[in-house]
Each structure stands twice: as structure tokens, then as C-alpha cells.
Amino acid sequence: CTTTVGSYLASRLEEIGLQHYFAVPGDYNLVLLDKLLENKNLKMISCCNELNAGYAADGYCRATGGASAVFVTYSVGGLSLLNAVAGAYAEDLPVIAVSGGPNTNSEAEFEMLHHTLGELDYDYQREIFSKVTAEAVTIHDPREAPTQIDHAIQTALRFRKPVYIEIACNIASAVTSAPNVRSFGGPTASDPVSLKAAVERAAEMLNAATKPVLVSGVKLRSFGAETSFHKLADASGYAIASMPNAKGMFDEQHPHYMGTYWGPVGSPGCGEIVDSSDLCLFAGGTFTDYTTTGHAALIDPTKVIQARPNSVVFPNQTFSNVKLAEFLEELSTKIKSNDGSMIAFKRIQEQATPLSPGDPETPLSTRQLFSRIQNMLGSDSTVIAETGDSWFNGMQLNLPTGSRFEVQMQYGSIGWSVGATLGYSVGAPDRRPIALIGDGSFQLTAQEVSTIIRYDLKPIIFLMNNRGYTIEVEIHDGPYNTIKNWNYADLVKVFNAEDGNGWSCQATTEGELDEAIKNAVSHNGPALIEVAIDRDDCSKNLLVWGGHVAKNNGRPPRFA
């Protein structure tokens, strides 16, 4: 049958492993959506709004480790999607954002159009997206479409960044070339000379160190280096820490795992061992005010080797064009085993005291809640932790082998987790996501629970009702941190309407929570538990972290 621009794009998405895409229709993309629907190997997931569709595409990338796609209409849809695509850029997720666009004749004929800024410039959406994507193209000529589509897809996969493709509304059904055989590779290979030199230098330094440590960073996953990191961890014998946004990328049950390296709010003993080590190898780490607790982590740059996605940075020397996975893989064959840091950690390691449950009537506390969530975790769990106190409570969970953990700590856009939970559930049907969402965050994107119900996905959502923006209270308080209370559990009834299978309840005591968890776990469909938490009940780590971040934000201006 004839290939159109729309069916070409659908075939390529299928080829790179997509089984779903997220969409909101509008008159600029309707013909394109018709063409996509002709492809029976791709399923459309219809979302309530474009921002949430973008967050869902972010979650889908996290679930599959590959790309995702989201389809929106021009401007009113595209500009709502923008924030989610910026988040995907920050988090290294290859989201393919596709927008319908004006008819190819409109600009040339000076035609004013609806949904636009009311001026005769129709390139503005592509220009705006060019700031938050690795490539932004407009397709106006069906003969050019295959090259433009293939190039954009290749860019997304190679650089692990979103791309933007705008397809004029009168071009989606235009005839073009059939998709020809080709491969879409991931990141390119290292420069062999640079790789060899970097590995030799690192091995020489690490083999001479007395208490070297290894720290995993968030870029390990996006750049396909988790397995190589594990190999290096096994070969080295070093103590291993994770940066907070890399939690779940390294097996927390590994005998050399110390915990989270997060400055003053990291796991007990972990920061002390990393900071006192004579040489640390950070693999794929990012050092922001958030991941270092307002730069309170005592990283001494003279004792650090940073393996980045495309380079290795030593205290006084940088090797470029060295790919993270290849570097770790090669290094694991050159490293001498050294358990110096592990012995030091064992000496100071604190045994966590298990928390006993209170009476069933005891009002809920976050500590009791999280000790229950801990017991729910299995190898098929994925914890999705929204920005807020959920970061700090989630970070304390001890993840069983195989379980995963997702945070959006680089970008930190609240409301992300509702869409991400939708997308993750679609992309990883064999896992049961456990989403930890604060009431304030939930209010931004709540309606996407209806899409989770629509497709009968099975996450368990814990909605923490503490009646405010607690994380902000700890950074800088004011009347703006109080929110309107909602009856969150009842929303599921609203979204179920006549055909939904969602289950929900409110829990205010330990006894009610135990009952709620039992019901949620046995319910074969979406579940939401609204937990009542006191306004001042937050983790100690949030208090400490909030203080450091506030201090860092509040540095006075330096005048020349």
C-alpha cells in the first residue's frame, strides 16, 4: 500500500521499538492521527491534556529504556507540551514530540490562522522547541520527510534527548518513499586512542589509591552503562554509593552498597566514606544544588575522577570522546580489587532499627507509612517519587534486587509523577508502579488519573495529604504554601464514571492504612490511597536539605 508521511513516521516509531504513543487531537493533527491509527502495531493512548501526555512520554522512556512519542496540535497543544519536553531534555529522555502545523500555503498567502499568535509567523513553535530539543524540524515537503524524520529519530537515540517534528496539516497524508532498511543506533563508539589512554590513567590512579570508592550517577541509565557499572563494582571490591537521582540504577542488595551519597542527608556513614576516600570515581553523576544538598557535599575535585557520557575528567586532564559504558567496561578488566573503603564503612555502619507498628487507632505518620511501603516492595516494583517530601522518604527505602526508582530531580516540575506513572504503567505492563505523590503536586495534573483508569492500568498511588507545599515551607515559608484541601479519594469515583475500575480510600490511622494496602494490592486495577499526614510531619532530611538549599538560594548578589 502507499506510504504517506504519517504512515512513514508510524513505521519508523514501530521499528525503534515503540508499541504506544500519547496523543491529544486538534485540527492541525487529525489527519496525522488517522495515518497513525492505520498502523495496528502501535496503540494510541489518549490523554486529558498535552502537558500530561508529555509527562507520560517521559515515563514511557523510563520504563522501556528507549524512546517515546507524543502527538499534539499546533501552539495550543504544543506550548502546553513544552514544559514536559524541557523536563525530558534535562533528564536525558528521547521523547519524540510531534506537532501538527499550519497548511504549507498559509504563510506564503498571508493567511491569518486560529490557535496562533495572530501574526504572520508560523515558525515560532519550532523555534521555541529548538531550545529544549536536540533537533527541531518542520516538514513541508513530502519528498524531504523521510530524511528529516530519520535524522531526527537518530538524533534522539544518539544524544538521548527529545526532538521536535512539526508536520504541516496538509502534508501528513501526502505520498512519500516507503521506509527503507536501515538501523538506528544509540550513542556512537569512543575514539579508541582516547579510550585506551583514559582507562590506563584511571586504572593507574585507582590501583595506587588506598580507599577508592565508586559512586553511581543518573546518566548511567540513559547512556546504557548500568551493566558496565555493575561489572566494575564487582571487579573493584570498592564500597559503592549512589547519587540520589541514580537510586535504583545499582542493586541496593549488592554486598558493597553503602547507600545514597547526598551530602548531609545521605545514608548514614556513606558521605563520610566518600568524602574521606583518597580517590572517588563518579560514573555519570550530576552535581546540582539539589543533588549535593546546596553544595554541602564535600567533594574534593583533586580526589575525583568523573566519567561522563562522552568524556573522562581527571583532576588535571580530560579525555574527550570516551563513552561512559565503554570506559567502565574496559576499566573493569584493568582494576585491582581493593576492599579498603568497604572495611572502613563496615566499621562505622549503623544498623537500621526496624520500626514497630503502633495501635490500629494511632494517627498516621510518614515513618509508619513508609515502613508499610517498604514491606510492599518486590522485584517487580517501581517507586515513582514526586518532588516534595516523597523524595526524602522514598530515598530511605531499601530496594529489593530488581526493583526500580524514578525521580525527576534535575528538572523537578511538580505534577510530573501523575503523567509519568501513566506512561510508566503503559511501558512496563509487568511492573506495578508505586507512586508517591504530594497533594500540592497532584493538584497540577490530577485529571490524568482518569487516563490511568481509562486504560485500566495497575499502579498504586499514595496521595500524601499534608495540606500544603511542605518542601517549600522548609525552604521559605509564606501564605502561598497553604493549598485548598480536596477530597482526593473521591476523585476516583468521579473519574470512574459509568465504566471505570479504579479503587480508592482514605486512611487516617495505622489500622485503616493496613486495610487500605491489603485492598489496593489485591485490586486488579488502579488504586489510590489518600493518607492523612500532619502538616508538620516531614522527614528530618527534608528539614536539613531545605536549610542548605535556602542558604544557597539566598547568597547575596556579588557586585563588581
**In angstroms, what is the minimal distance from the CB of 61 to ligand TPP?**
20
d(CA 288, CA 410): 8
- Can you tell me the distance from the alpha carbon of 252 to that of 513, in angstroms, rounded to the nearest whole number? 27
25-33, 158-166, 198-206, 407-415 -> range binding ligand TPP (CB under 6 A): 407-415
**Interface residue with ligand TPP, options 212, 217, 248, 388 (CB under 6 A):** 388
Would you state the cell numbers that stand for residue 416, as one nine-digit string? 510530573
87 binds ligand TPP (CB under 6 A): no
Q: Which of 75, 106, 155, 413 binds ligand TPP (CB under 6 A)?
A: 413
> For residue 373, which phi and psi values (nearest 5 degrees)?
-60, -40
Q: Does 477 bind ligand TPP (CB under 6 A)?
A: no
Contacts with ligand TPP by CB under 6 A: the residue count is 19
Residues 418-457, mask of contacts with ligand TPP (x by CB under 6 A): --------------------xxxx----------------
Scan residues 93-152 and list those touching ligand TPP (CB under 6 A). Answer: none
Q: Quick one: which of 59, 412, 500, 502 contacts ligand TPP (CB under 6 A)?
A: 412
Residue 483: CB minimum distance to ligand TPP, A? 7
Closer Cβ to ligand TPP, 274 or 531, answer by number = 531
Stretch that binds ligand TPP, among 74-82, 371-379, 382-390, 426-434 (CB under 6 A): 382-390
412: left (phi over 0), alpha (psi -120 to 50) or beta: left
Among 191, 472, 514, 515, indicate the residue that binds ligand TPP (CB under 6 A).
472
**394 near ligand TPP, judged by CB under 6 A:** no
Q: How far is the CB of 294 from ligand TPP (least distance, A)?
A: 15
Q: How many CB atoms lie within 10 A of CB 277?
A: 25
Q: Please state the closest distance from residue 464 (CB atom) to ligand TPP, in A.
A: 6
Closest separation between CB of residue 83 and ligand TPP, Å?
7
Closest residue to ligand TPP: CB criterion: 438
Q: Do 340 and 210 contact (CB within 8 A), yes or no?
A: yes
Write down the least CB distance from residue 259 to ligand TPP, Å: 22
Gap between the Cα atoms of 553 and 560, Å rounded: 20
One of 52, 190, 381, 470 touching ligand TPP (CB under 6 A) = 470
Identify the sign of the CA torsion 32, 38, 39, 43. positive
Closest CA to 341 of 273, 280, 281: 273
From the list 469, 488, 495, 545, which residue makes contact with ligand TPP (rule: CB under 6 A)? 469
Residue 416 identity? W
H runs (alpha helix) in 319-431 = 324-332, 340-348, 366-376, 389-395, 416-427
Stretch that binds ligand TPP, among 128-136, 167-175, 406-414, 420-428 (CB under 6 A): 406-414
- The number of residues in the chain equals 560
Indicate the residue among 210 and 480 with the shorter CB distance to ligand TPP: 480
Which ranges constitute the DSSP H helices of 439-554? 439-445, 449-454, 470-475, 488-496, 510-522, 540-553
Reference 162, options 87, 63, 56; nearest CA is: 87
- CB burial class (10 A; 0-12, 13-18, 19+) of residue 121? exposed
User: How, if at all, do strands 311-314 and 317-320 pair?
Assistant: antiparallel
Contact residues for ligand TPP, defined by CB under 6 A: 386-390, 412-414, 438-441, 464, 466, 468-472
